[in-house]
Amino acid sequence: MDLYSAPLACSLASHITVLEAGLPVAVTYVDNRRKTTSRGEDFWTVSPHGYVPALRLDSGEVLNEGPAVLQYLADQKPETGLAPAWGTPERYRLIDTLNYLSTEVHKRIFAPLFSTRSSEATKEEVRPLLAKSLDALSIRLGERDFLVGETFTVADAYLVTLLNWFRHVGTDLKQWPVMAAYHKRMLARPSVARAMAAEMAEYQKLAA
């Protein structure tokens, strides 16, 4: 399998999952500005949508939506607990959480904030949602160590990625102590630290 990841983008969650599960997946980086890959490919030929993550399966088929990629990767190593078993209430809580993160936080808030096509008026309109989403996430997490269930799942891989973005746009997580403590724990997790270090190095290379 091949995972296409743009450094520090939402595909970081999939990169973390690959490392957490110990999967034999090759990570290929994507230059989001030029839509080219580190292997010299035209990324549009990999992803008709032009976005990451893109997971090319051994069959040649490509999965291109974050929640689907994360669950597919997790299901390759069910013993890791990265996704609860299908048919259990916990699996549907995971799906509920991934959908919330991908639609209400990622697409609704950060997509317009990061888009070069968004007007300042549009960005100002969504900025109040940053605090509201952190309020909601703090309630979802509560006093637990992990977002879904009692162990690290792909939902945590996604949330730590988004929390990096909150900090990037200037949100002080200290105003949400539960989230600040959670983020600190997640950053110290070996799979998270390894993925972030690799992607930061690639990010700096692209920015040079």
Closest by Cα among 194, 92, 103 to 153: 92
Closest by Cα among 148, 69, 136 to 104: 136
Q: Rounded distance, CA 139 to CA 126, Å? A: 21
Q: Rounded distance, CA 179 to CA 188, Å? A: 14
Q: Domains in the chain and their CATH numbers? A: 2-81 (3.40.30.10), 89-190 (1.20.1050.10)
pLDDT tens digits in sequence order for the chain, 208 residues long: 999 999 999 999 999 999 999 999 999 999 999 999 999 999 999 999 999 999 999 999 999 999 999 999 999 999 999 999 999 999 999 999 999 999 999 999 999 999 999 999 999 999 999 999 999 999 999 999 999 999 999 999 999 999 999 999 999 999 999 999 999 999 999 999 999 999 999 999 998 7
